[in-house]
Structure 1
Amino acid sequence: MLRVGILGAGGIAERAMVEPSRDVDGVEVVAIGARVPSRAEAFAARLDLPISGDYERVLSDPSIDLIYLALPPVVHARWAVRALEAGRHVLCEKPLSANGTTAQEIADAAAAAGRRAFVGFHYRLHASTVRLLEVLRSGVLGSVQSVEVDFSIPHFVVKPGNIRLDGDLAGGAVMDVGCYAVDLLRAAWGEPEVVSAAAELYDADPRIDLQTDAQLRLPGGLPASVRSSFIGDDTGAMVMRVTGSDASLEATSVIVPQWGATLRVTAGDDVLIDEKAPEGENSYVRQLEHLRDVLADGSPSILDADRAVGTMRVVDAIYRAAGLQPR
């Protein structure tokens, strides 16, 4: 049994860990910690978790195998290192950390402790994403000519007071949704080079990008454009479009495939592929199944922290290209 303790009593803890754990054999969430212990106690009472208190209460429990950090990325390194040194494995909510330097600290601490650290890019484990990467690598598009990724949250979602608009907490659109785009591009094509970027800033905190448009160069000189936004239209976007010499691809709901992801490949008027996400599959459930299995057999993971460091270094480079400082 993989016993999980959570640090952070926000909504993501319930949605990404407690609820899916109830559909995964061999995984049990047993503890919740919060800066204010009464919040953890209320969370535990509502969701029937046996252990609650402050962060130290959770970290010190020897029965816990994995700590899930449902915290702002600016504190991930601090608490991940503490958990790893206490002998626990760690899953960081995405992104892995505030920047490439602190992300590397997490990876190094895991290696030193002989434990595993992971980033919560749950979408990578969903069948729709596995299929998307399979199609991208299949050659059906011919010679790929351009890639466009638009991950835009509808404008009415991220409002004043949201932690994603707080520079002290390492907020910003590239941090929140752009990290997914970078991770996906790296998975499909390899390491990108940042060519240029432009950001629209938040008036109340000019450290925060409400929207950033980045131009990247993928291996082989392939151009890629990435939009990360908190000010999308009423419907938002989670789309990847790829143009090839033989066919074009469009994938939707990439970040959260269970929200109706589609994959369509066309060549002129011919539809070569037209698929929808499997009914009922949940990426957070798949993530927990994956972590259970790789921790049991020691096999490498696409969520390993040492790989995720590269994603954070690209995020840093996008911010620098836009005239902003890495978080």
Structure 2
Amino acid sequence: MTGQPLRVGIFGTGGIAERAMVEPSTLVDSVQVIAVGSRDPERARAFADRFGIKAAGDYASVMANPDVDLVYVALPPTAHALWAVAALRAGKHILCEKPLSANGTDARAIADAAEATGRSAFVGFHYRLHSFTQRLLDVIGSGVLGDIDDASIDFSIPHFVVKPGNIRLNGDLGGGAVMDVGCYAIDLLRAAWGEAHVVSSSARLYDGDPRVDMQTDFVLAFETGIRARVRASFLGDDKGQMSLTIVGSAATLHATSVIVPQWGATLRVAAGENLLIDEKAMEGESSYVAQLEHLVDVLASDGPSPLTAAHATATMALVDDVYRAAGLQPR
């Protein structure tokens, strides 16, 4: 790939394909979106015409396109494994929109297919590439907080956002609050403290589909001895929450907008009345742009990445365990 841009084909024509791939690609010279596929080729053509994408058709046409280097799988989670594995076997690298898959078994299938084909598979936890997130993780690991006494994450979407008809409320498509926002929390906590197991979990279910959690509260215990409380919810107040709080023996950390740092993320660390850190995310920096730049670099150098499917399989296994502990079945 040296000397030429990363050429991307897209599976899916939903809004996330526009926000996470088409728009940021216009800001990264080394990335070009050249093809789009849909179950309905006419829908793909309309999407392509709207954004000036050269090729449009069904999924097979994208995989057969010799110019496509990487396929962005922007489909419901229950479709990820089928089409990600197919694209890998067709010789393409893949980026799956988060979560990587519907469950841990499907996640492992994607990771195994990447290894077998010699292609690379990534999950779209874009926030991990933002400088704010990197700074946040550095502070957590620096020792400035002392011994960790308590940690909590609240990822609550405002109650008026996820309404009937939204695919996040469809059990057949892998809907649910843990699948949508809880997977971010698990990924961030694993980045901070390593591997964990589920201590407890309780869910409030959607009346229209009792397989779907509207809100789940769970506790993770890490091998370091740290425990973290997580709320993943579609029932937030009018403003919602994307906050992380860590109470340590020496100081307390509070961070906001931690999964979308470009929305004005803040980081504060205080020891009593003494404010040790008071920072904001850099204005104008996009985690989606950073993700694309990272993929270009990793594929060119075969370097490490926090977005690999192999790493994400453990996140999906924990998602499964959170659901089981709440009395639900994995997706």
- TM-score normalised to the size of structure 2? 0.98
List runs of 5+ in structure 1 lacking aligned partners: none
Separation in structure 2 between the aligned mates of residue 190 and residue 293 of structure 1, nearest angstrom: 25
1:144 matched residue in structure 2: 148
1:310-325 superposed matches below 5 A:
310-325=314-329
Aligned to 1:105: 109
Corresponding residue number in structure 2 for 1:284: 288
SS at the partner of 2:150? strand
Q: Which amino acid aligns with 1:76?
A: H
Following superposition, the deviation at residue 220 of structure 1 comes to: 2.7
Residue 25 of structure 1 deviates from its aligned partner by: 2.0
Alignment of 1:174-193 (within 5 A): 174-193=178-197
* Matched residue count: 327
- 2:294 partner letter: H
Task: Give the whole-Å Cα distance in 1 for the aligned partners of 2:258 and 2:44.
Answer: 32
1:144 maps to a residue whose letter is I
Deviation per CA, 1:176-214: give whole Å up to 9, x if none.
000000000000001111000000000110000000000
The answer for the alignment partner of 1:11 in structure 2 is 15
| CA shift for structure 1 position 219 | 2.0
RMSD, aligned α-carbons: 0.6
Task: Letter of the 1:109 partner, please give it.
Answer: A
- The ranges of structure 1 where at least 4 consecutive aligned residues each deviate by more than 3 angstroms after the TM superposition are none
What is the match of residue 220 of structure 1?
224
**2:130–2:261 Cα contact (<8 Å) kept:** yes
Cα distance in 2 between the residues matched to 1:142 and 1:269: 16
2:265 aligned to which of 234, 256, 261: 261
Q: Distance in 2 between matches of 1:287 and 1:94?
A: 13
Letter in 1 for 2:84: A
Alignment of 1:78-227 (within 5 A): 78-227=82-231
25, 28, 34: which one pairs with 1:30?
34
C-alpha offsets along residues 70-93 of structure 1, whole Å, 9 cap, x if unaligned? 000101000001000000000000
5 Å-filtered alignment, 1:54-73, equals 54-73=58-77
Q: Indicate whether 1:303 and 2:307 are aligned.
A: yes
Which amino acid is 2:312 matched to?
A
Hey, what's the Cα distance between the residues in 2 that align with 1:37 and 1:159?
Answer: 28
Partners of 1:140 and 1:294 lie apart in 2 by 31
How far apart, in 1, do the equivalents of 2:224 and 2:187 lie? 18
Task: Quote the Cα distance in structure 2 between the aligned partners of 1:84 and 1:283.
Answer: 25
Whole-angstrom distance in 2 between the partners of 1:88 and 1:218: 35
Residues of 2 paired with 1:116 and 1:39: CA distance? 28
Shift of 1:169: 0.4
- % identical aligned pairs: 67
Q: CA deviation at 1:134?
A: 0.3
| SS of match in other structure, 2:235 | strand
CA-to-aligned-CA distance 1:253-311 (integer Å, 9 cap, x gap): 01110000000001111110000000100000000000000000111211000000000
The answer to whether structure 1 residue 44 and structure 2 residue 53 are counterparts is no
TM-score when scaled to structure 1? 0.99
- Tell me the equivalent position of 1:271: 275
